[in-house]
Amino acid sequence: MLRLPLVLLANLFLGLRLLLGLPFRLMAVRQRPSWVRFRLAGSLPYRPRRGPRLRLGGPPVEPATVTSLEDFGRALRLLAADPKVEGILLEVEGVSLTDARREALLALLSDFQAAGKRVVSWAVMVDTNEYPVLGAADEVLLAPMGRVELVGYAAEATVLGEAFDRVGIHAHFARRGDYKTAPEFFTDGKVSDIQRQTLETFLDERFAALVEALSRSRGKTPEEAKALIDAGPYSAKRALEAGLVDGLVHEADLGAHLGLESKKRGGDEETPVPTFGAYLATQAFPPVRWLKLRRRPRLAVVDVAGMIVPGSGGAGRFAAADTVVKALRKAGRDPRAKAVVLAVNSPGGSSLASEQMLEAVKRVAKQKPVIAYVDQLCASGGYMAAIGAKEIWSAPHAIVGSIGVFIGKFEYGGLLEKLGVQRTTLTRGENAAFASNSRGFTPHERAALEREVEESYQTFLELVAQARGRTKEEIHERAEGRVYSGLRARDAGLVDRIGGFEEVCRHAMDEARESSDDFEIVRYGGGARSKLSLLKLLTAASHPTTYAFCTAAWSLWGLGSLRRLD
C-alpha cells in the first residue's frame, strides 16, 4: 500500500529535477559533442555493483571510467542513435577481464560499429590479454612512450614434493583418477606428463583464440599473426612499424587528433574529449529511469566463488558451505525471485561441503528454475555443486570438469624431530591415529583410506550420471580428473550450452515465464572477507579429508603476458 505514494513522490522529484535543468540543457544542446570518451580499467562487472550512496574518503573515480558492462552497453546504444555522434574514444588502462567478459565487451563495441559509428582506442601500455580490446577499434592509438606487451601465454606448474622432503614434511594421499593431479603438487618432485598435457591443451586453445582475434582485428593471416606475437614485446615505434597500432599520439593531443576544436584561443591548449556525463548534460531530455508502480521481477544470483570449505564466512576467497546454503535458501524463499543463477567460479574443495551445496541447489530447483553459469572456473567440487541446476552454461574457454577425489594428510614428524620436538602416539583401536600428523598411514589405515576414496569417487560418478542423464561408465570415461574447456565440456555432455552472463540471465527468466527484457538482479550471500592463510590451509589439511579439488585450474589463472618493471 505504501509503494504507490512513494513511487509517485519519487517520480515527481525526478520530473521536477528534469524540468529545472531543462533551460540549461537547452542552452547546451548546440554544443553536443561529436566524440565521447570512455575509460576501461580494472575488472568490469556485468551489472553495477551496489555500494554506499555517500562516498567518504578514498581516491575519486575518474569520470570517464566504465563501471559495468550493462551501463556501458546502455550508453553505447544511446550514442549510436544520435546522428551527431561520430564515435567514441576508448582509453584502455589496466583492464583485467575474463575471456567471457572480454567477449561481452567486444560484442557491445561491434554493435556500436555496426550502427555506423567509429571506435578509436588509445593506451599507454597493454599486455596480451588487453590487446584484443585495444585492437578491436577502427583506429588504434598508442602513447609515443607506450608499449605493447604482446607475447602470448605461459603457464607455470609447481610441485613441492622434494622441498617438503627436505624440511621433514611428507604428504600422504590416495586419489581416484590418473588426471586428478592435485596431490602431485604436494607429493611429486617433478611435473607429471599428464599435468603437462593438461596445461598444453589449454595453452593451445587460448593461443588459437588470440591468433584469431589478432587476425580479425588487424587483417592478418594466422601465420602473420603468430609471427607478430613471436616478435613481441613491442616499443611504441616497433608496434607502429608492425601494424599493431595506427598512430602514436600523446594523451593531451587526442582531442585535436579527433578533430575537436579548443574553446580557448591559441593553438597550444589541450582539447579534452567530453565524457558521457558531459554528453548527457547537452541532452534536452536525457533518459530517466522512472520508478514503476509494479515492481520488476527479480533474478537471484548466488555465487560459489573460491575454494569450497565447510562452515561459514570467507566471502571472496572461500566458498563456505553454510554461507552458500543460506543464500540459496533465501533465494528460494524470496517470492519476488522468479529464477536463480548459480554463478560458479571455484576449483573445488571439500567433498562434504560440495555435497551440502548440491543438495541445497536441488531443493531450490524444485521451487523455481536454477541455471548454473561458469564464467571462468567450475572444477571438481565446484562442478558437483553445479549439477544440481536444471542446466549448466559455460563461457567458451572456462575450465570445467576434474571429476575425481583425493584424500590424505600431511606428516610433520620429520620436521618436529629436526626442531627437537619429541612426540609419542598411544592408541586404542587400529585406526585411532588415522588423523595424526606425527606419522604416515599404517597398512590398516591405508586400506581404510583407499576404501574411503573409492566410495567417494563412486558417489561422485553416481551424482553426475544422474544429473546428466548418463551411465556411470559414460561419466567415468569423462572423469578421472580430466579437465575441459567450456567448448569441450559441452561436446562431452558435461555442459548444456555456451553463452554469456546476460544471455544466461534472460534464459533463466524465460524458464520462469517472466519478462526477460526488464528485470532486476539481486545477489544473495556474501559476508566478511577472510584472508587467505597458508597456516590455516596446512592446519586444515593435516587431517584426512575428502577433497574434490583442481590444482591445475589454479595454475591456469596465472596465464598472461610479461610486464616490464623499469
Q: List the catalytic residues.
A: 180, 380
Q: Which three cell numbers stand for residue 184?
A: 602431485
Comparing CA positions, the residue from 386, 345, 347, 402 lying closest to residue 100 is: 345
Return the number of other C-beta atoms located less than 10 Å from residue 458's C-beta. Answer: 14
| Peptide bond just before 233 cis, omega within 30 deg | yes
Question: To the nearest 5 percent, what fractions of the chain are helix, strand and coil?
Answer: 40, 20, 40
Q: Which three cell numbers stand for residue 68?
A: 559495468
Amino acid identity, residue 183? P
| CA 180/CA 182 separation, integer angstroms | 6
Please answer whether residues 272 and 251 qualify as being in contact, where contact means their C-beta atoms are separated by less than 8 angstroms: no
Contact residues for 152 (Cβ-Cβ < 8 A; gap 6+): 128, 207, 210, 229, 230, 232, 561
Return the number of other C-beta atoms located less than 10 Å from residue 125's C-beta. Answer: 19
Please answer whether residues 255 and 271 qualify as being in contact, where contact means their C-beta atoms are separated by less than 8 angstroms: yes
Radius of gyration of the chain (CA): 27
| CA 438/CA 168 separation, integer angstroms | 11
**C-alpha 73, offset from chain centre:** 19
| CA 543/CA 409 separation, integer angstroms | 5
Residue 218 dihedral angles phi and psi, to the nearest 5°: -110, 10
Contact residues for 530 (Cβ-Cβ < 8 A; gap 6+): 313, 314, 315, 316, 317, 318
Q: Which three cell numbers stand for residue 165?
A: 622432503
Among the residues of 122-250, which ranges form H helices? Answer: 131-135, 161-167, 184-187, 193-218, 222-230, 236-242
List, in sequence order, every beta strand (DSSP E) within 22-86.
35-42
Using alpha carbons, list the distances in angstroms from residue 392 to 27, 99, 237, 470: 52, 18, 46, 15
- Ramachandran sector of residue 488 (left: φ over 0; alpha: ψ -120 to 50; beta: rest): alpha
**C-alpha 213, offset from chain centre:** 20
